Structure 1
Amino acid sequence: MPREGLLPAMPRAKGIVNSGLIPSLVRKLHREEESIQEILLDTLAACLQEDATEALNSRVVPFLKEKLLSPNEIIRCKAARTLIAHPSGGQEAVIPILVHLLRDPVEEVQANAAGALMYATVTTEGKYAALDAEAIHPLLGLLVSSLQKARLNAIKALTMLAEAPEGRKILKAHVHTFRVLEAEPGEAVQRAAEVAIKVIEWKP
């Protein structure tokens, strides 16, 4: 099943992975013009859903980090979306950039950055890197986004941060916001808000 915020896997993704072409795709991100970079990022996202091993071996994260800083909003958006497909681990270096992108002028970029943070904060290291980068307040800001995907990704990322005592302490003052989201028409958002409240209110 595709990860949140991604397009369905491309039919040829499996063939690309099996042919060992991922390292070549990653290297091309440096050299190709932007229209080709967009296609490469879409392809990499689909390939990562099939198998992330080769991408990890190709050090894809530093290349994606560079694309997250692109002045081209489509490149930023697709780079963040590709990180959603990337397994947790090794992403701590891009967390400050992802937090910065939570305030991007483009809502789709914000939504994908929140989605990437959701996966990057699965690990303890990721949680504390996000807390150090002060991710909580911009994520809270996305809870009123006009994009359901942004709201959903933000709730899930905040739930991850609430698993850390420091994050839980900050978020206790915002439980009412999640209770409002429990009444939202979208079932996915309702369920995510319910889980978030349980994690925030959990007592050891």
Structure 2
Amino acid sequence: MAGRLIDPSRAPVAFGQRAVPQLFAELQRPEAGRRQRALASLCDLMHNPERIYQAVNGGFLEQLTVLIEDEDPSVRMKTCELLHMLSGHSVGRQALLSSSLLPPLSQLLDDSSSSCRRNVHRVLNRLSLLPAGAEALLTLLPKLMLKLREDEEEEEVQVLLLSSLSSCSRLDALPALSADGVSLLGHKLSHRSPNIRREAAAAMMALSVCADGKRRVCEEAVLPVLVGLLQDEDIEVQVNAAGVIMYAVIINSGKQQCLDLGVVPVLLHLVSKKEEEEEQDEERGRRRKALVMYSLRALTALAEAPAGRRLLLEQLPLLVMRSEATEEDQDIRRAAQTAVRVITWTP
């Protein structure tokens, strides 16, 4: 009779409800190899939500604090992978936020293993999607902002980092602004990767909502780059760039800079552009709608400046057409109507 095949990279797993307690007991063993195999088996088990519930409700998570600081790089890496698996479920995310794991986990942002750092960023990014998670990560913002300076990190890590910064900054932009966030993000806006440009522009939009953020955007010379991104090949990069400009032109210095940069014709082109894909691709249609809405709102704010109003009065028929088209999206039609009212206002 043929012998049963055993994977040497994994620990034997007990049957049923005994599996999780048995593997966590293995994690207490002094041999690094046994800890690695137990972690590998636990990662396999955590694909099952029932096992995640068992690990959380059994109070096993606090045991991982020691493993996060383990001397063996492979143990640290597999522990972070296990936390990544746990963070994929709402119960696991809530448990991580309630545990004492976050401070030691953040220390691994400087780990020598790129796989370990990647898994840490994956965990933090998933946590940041929760309001409570974003709030918990605000204390880590200075450290995360410093990581923006490290261009040698792989693309996925940079994208995860920027996405986490966006989530945190939407909750409170001041920590990132205090850590020179506008300048650091500005360097990422010209990155060759569209994914990094997209997330950098999204984070910049989050920073530009508050008054201090608008002022910093105007002072840090990022508006010329953002105006250029309005013609980016990636529509989400365009959307996020238009969002930053929409907020920046609320203040007078933003209006003047954007008018000097010739943004009005670019925004009008985005408003007037029609694409067949809108009817074929629902997701692209959603992004296209956001791009038009942001552009119309930016044009409305620019019309408050005399120079902007003069330019827009020359192109009024285009905006009137969008404001009156019965087949037009209702939100876009209302935004166009508001733009027309502001442009044609007389004292």
Deviations 1:1-56 (A, max 9, x none): xxxxxxxx721111111xx2111111111213221111111111111111111111
Could you say what secondary structure the match of 1:104 adopts? coil
Deviations 1:136-174 (A, max 9, x none): 111111112541111111111111111111001100111
The alignment status of 1:10 with 2:125, answered yes or no, reads no
Give the residue type in structure 2 aligned to 1:90: R
Give the residue type in structure 1 aligned to 2:257: A
Of 224, 242, 252, which residue of structure 2 is paired with 1:114? 242
Q: Which has the higher contact order (CA 8 A, sep 6+)?
A: 1
Of 109, 123, 147, which residue of structure 2 is paired with 1:28? 147
Partner Cα separation in structure 1 for residue 222 and residue 182 of structure 2: 8
Pairing of 1:136-155 with structure 2 (within 5 A):
136-143=264-271, 144=273, 146=275, 147-155=288-296
Identity rate, percent: 38
Contact 1:145–1:151 (Cα < 8 Å) also in 2: no
Pairing of 1:62-101 with structure 2 (within 5 A):
62-86=183-207, 87=210, 88-92=214-218, 93-101=221-229
Cα RMSD (Å) of the superposition? Answer: 1.4
Partner Cα separation in structure 2 for residue 132 and residue 23 of structure 1: 34
Of 284, 298, 306, which residue of structure 2 is paired with 1:157? 298
Residues 10, 51 of structure 1: alpha-carbon distance in 2 compared, 3 angstrom cutoff: same
Which structure would you say has the larger Rg? 2
Q: CA deviation at 1:175?
A: 1.5
Give the residue type in structure 2 aligned to 1:80: A
Could you say what secondary structure the match of 1:21 adopts? helix
Report what 1:55 is aligned to.
176
Give the paired residue count.
194
Structure 2: gaps of 5 or more residues:
1-127, 276-287
Name the stretch that deviates more: 126-135 or 79-88: 79-88
Give the residue type in structure 2 aligned to 1:202: W
Partner Cα separation in structure 2 for residue 174 and residue 187 of structure 1: 21
Could you say what secondary structure the match of 2:204 adopts? helix
TM-score by length of 1: 0.90
Partner Cα separation in structure 1 for residue 329 and residue 205 of structure 2: 22
Report what 1:4 is aligned to.
none
Partner Cα separation in structure 2 for residue 138 and residue 85 of structure 1: 22
Partner Cα separation in structure 2 for residue 154 and residue 145 of structure 1: 14
Partner Cα separation in structure 2 for residue 150 and residue 134 of structure 1: 18
The alignment status of 1:189 with 2:343, answered yes or no, reads no
TM-score by length of 2: 0.54
Partner Cα separation in structure 2 for residue 148 and residue 180 of structure 1: 16
Deviations 1:93-112 (A, max 9, x none): 21111111111122221121
Partner Cα separation in structure 2 for residue 24 and residue 172 of structure 1: 48
Name the stretch that deviates more: 111-120 or 145-154: 145-154
Structure 1: gaps of 5 or more residues:
1-8
Deviations 1:47-88 (A, max 9, x none): 111111111110100111101000101111111111111132
Partner Cα separation in structure 2 for residue 108 and residue 151 of structure 1: 12
Partner Cα separation in structure 2 for residue 60 and residue 54 of structure 1: 9
